[in-house]
A and B are shown apart, each in its own frame.
Chain A
């Protein structure tokens, strides 16, 4: 069978994404916006699109022939998934459970659950014996997850954290954000944590790094700077003392006064 790739005979493509729920039980989490994304692909171009969805969606791919209406070609369009042709997949009906990647000559679609944009690159630093609050927030404009989970990376695995089992951990969930509070930190608590925003389609995970250090770490620079201050102040004051001794020895008539110098000037002249 001869394969025609999408776009061979079309000069414009209109992609319609219709978020219709195939499972009525999930209608609680309905996202009732129907998005139409129009994009113009010219022959030979490739494009990446990322769509964030909550639930399985119906994806429609529509091709509009803008060339000569008389010369309408006979087009066969196939969806392919991972290099396999999907049977009976002409034009529509797509069921995605988790993540689907469609690679065509022209379009690569990545369909995922809503992503957390605001990721903190640098680790949160806290101290042994102290507590730490790690937060994750889903953007206002995106749909709110049904719940939040927290995971800790152990080797290559991600273990979910259950506060019921370990009272050291507390999870506070609000609709659009979550907080993991870890009490009585130890250095072993350092590492990578994930917050998971649970959606029907998938759980979005976002990493949060934690670094636990002892109080000795900041104490080192503190003591160093403290020493520097003491040394400098001592040098300055000693220099001044030795200079005043020299002045006294050479019979200089200057008198040093350390009280209300900048105050009662009118009284000054009297104190010769």
Chain B
């Protein structure tokens, strides 16, 4: 049984064909947007010395970038609603490229804030959003799998970018590296070129066409104005609100555990290389589980109740983090890295699929824009709050307990709320089916009425 929030696309998505090329394009865009801010750390020390600034001043660069990437969500949504995904991703790719090229000629740290942070951040926002949106136009039946595959871009691209950045830095210093990163960022334009706007296949009979246009007329008048920009009526959408509340809280605890994994390992006396290996193990688990989660989410048992699967993934993450302080020695930490890598991958793979499932593909663009700007706060505040917990207590345990709670509580909340939501949706579905049957009966009666004689004649 398909999810209650039907696509309302008006056509049958191909669920394949060129869709896989689009998934690949999304893989690149989403991957670059997620991985790029994390991979810049290797340049900080030298830039810090070059401009004679403190560490916190240089740390503002990725913070501004993240803030603009999340805050730019609504802007991205508006542009996608008006112009479709492709132009926005092309623009985003150009912005990311230009940002780094300009930054390579930068003469002050403020310029880096503007170029890398502001322009780069918005460029990434114009990549992330549209890439997620276009998947919904090409896939319906296989959408969880498509989403899972596209989200795998994030850890894969990070795995490529991190050593690449180290190599570039050693060969060219920070200026040359930024220049080359500019051209690498332009590859997002290639991803954008792949995001062919979906052709409509009009396959309706006259009868149903007229029925739908009836509905369409009334809906269009009230909604078209809003849809041109951004759909604020989402704030009255029950599913959207549940998702929003759960996610905003969850985001406080989602990134800090992996950010502090290496320092935590070193704190326990583990040497630098083994500690770095933990991150690699985490990434490998993440890469493996994302497509797998997409595949499982697609199965006929999970798909109708995919919200529970998502809630479970969040709950499981919370439990992982709560148990982390119990991990003793290197083996314990390896086990934790595997399990939390799996957890993070599961949550990430389903993150946007469940939103699409709740609001439907055509409202998804606005929905994701509104969600990302709300998540701006937790994303920026999460790691510093965790860091403060570590500094104050001198131990990492309290930070892991806190992050665990930040995920456990939303997980439980989502489970309960979605149980209630599914019940309501089933009710509404039954009601609307009853109404439709009544309407079509009446229409048939009306049509046959005047042509009664003709029909009877034809029957003979």
Contact = CB atoms under 8 A, between A and B. Distances in A.
A122 interface: yes
Given A124-B173, A218-B180, A259-B84, A232 B134 contact: no
Contacts, number: 148
Contacts of A233: 189-190, 193
B199 interface: yes
A71 to B, nearest CB: 44
Given A229-B186, A236-B190, A262 B362 contact: yes
A262 B186 contact: no
A254 interface: yes
Dominant SS among interface residues on chain B:
helix
Contact of B173 (A126, A228, A240, A255): A126
A203 B196 CA distance: 66
A127 B175 contact: yes
A34 interface: no
Interface residues of A, number: 47
A221 interface: yes
Measured as residues with beta carbon below 8 angstroms from the partner, the interface class of chain B is: 35 or more
Contact of A270 (B84, B170, B216, B228): B216
B227 interface: yes
Contacts of A126: 173, 175
A242 interface: no
Contact of A127 (B173, B198, B228, B361): B173
Interface in B209-237: 209, 212-213, 215-217, 219-220, 223-224, 227-228
A237 B362 contact: no
Given A263-B362, A267-B216, A270-B220, A225 B136 contact: no
B216 A125 contact: no
Contacts of A218: 172, 175-177, 179-180
18 contacts: A125-B176, A127-B176, A132-B50, A215-B176, A218-B172, A222-B182, A225-B184, A229-B186, A232-B193, A255-B200, A260-B227, A261-B137, A262-B85, A262-B136, A264-B227, A266-B223, A269-B10, A270-B216
Contact of A267 (B9, B179, B220, B361): B220
A28 B215 CA distance: 91
A1 interface: no
Interface in A225-272: 225-226, 228-229, 232-233, 236-237, 240, 253-270, 272
A263 B172 contact: no
A219 interface: yes
Interface of B: 8-11, 46, 49-50, 52, 80-85, 133-134, 136-137, 170-173, 175-177, 179-180, 182-184, 186-187, 189-190, 193-194, 196-202, 204, 209, 212-213, 215-217, 219-220, 223-224, 227-228, 361-362, 364-365
A261 B170 contact: no
A232 B190 contact: yes
Contacts of B200: 254-255, 257, 261, 268
A232 B200 CA distance: 26
Nearest to B133: A262
Contact of A257 (B50, B170, B193, B197): B197
